[in-house]
Amino acid sequence: MNTPTDSLTLEVADFEHDVLTGIYSEETGKPQPLRFTIQVSMQPIERYTPDTPLTESKNYMDLKFAASEALPQGVHFKLIEAVADHVCETLFLQDARITAVTVKIVKLAIAEAGEKIGITLTRQRR
């Protein structure tokens, strides 16, 4: 049996998607490119073998879906924190086995010298 300290983290890093977000006039009305890194934590099964089915883990494409197609079309998010919150909620609703979600978002359009400007939000299942 796995121990309480065992954990499984799935990650999609540096996934880019355009999202309606921003508070300044030059940001509103047009999508902005955001770079997402999403991690989900879940309790692993006791052992993974070569023939363990995907149902014993989580499809990482679900993480990409939560940061793209699952975002509501035509909705403008003033804050990228709200985008991250929506991603977290989508993943919690998708899979009851997820215990925590971390979403890092970098706003690509505002970088002037290659710096990475953004937020990281971590939510625990409540």
Neighbours of 26 (CB within 10 A): 8
Residue-wise pLDDT for 79-126, tens only, equals 999 999 999 999 999 999 999 999 999 999 888 888 899 999 999 999
- Alpha-carbon distance of 126 to 49, in angstroms, equals 31
Q: What is the pTM of this model?
A: 0.91
What is the C-alpha radius of gyration for the chain, rounded to an integer number of angstroms? 16
Residue 103: the pLDDT is: 98
State which H helix or E strand residue 18 sits in.
Answer: strand 8-19
Residue 23: the pLDDT is: 86
SS3 108: helix
Residue-wise pLDDT for 26-83, tens only, equals 777 789 999 999 999 999 999 999 999 999 999 999 999 999 999 999 999 999 999 9
Contact 28, 22 (CB under 8 A): yes
Residue 112: the pLDDT is: 82
Structure token digits, residue 100? 């925590």
Taking 80 as the threshold, does the pLDDT of residue 2 lie above it?
A: no
Q: Which CATH fold topology does 8-48+55-124 show? A: GTP Cyclohydrolase I, domain 2 (3.30.1130)
Domain residue extents for the chain: 8-48+55-124
Q: CB-hemisphere CA count at 13 Å for 52?
A: 11
Residue 1: the pLDDT is: 59
Backbone angles phi, psi at 49, to 5 degrees: -115, 170
Residue 30: the pLDDT is: 85
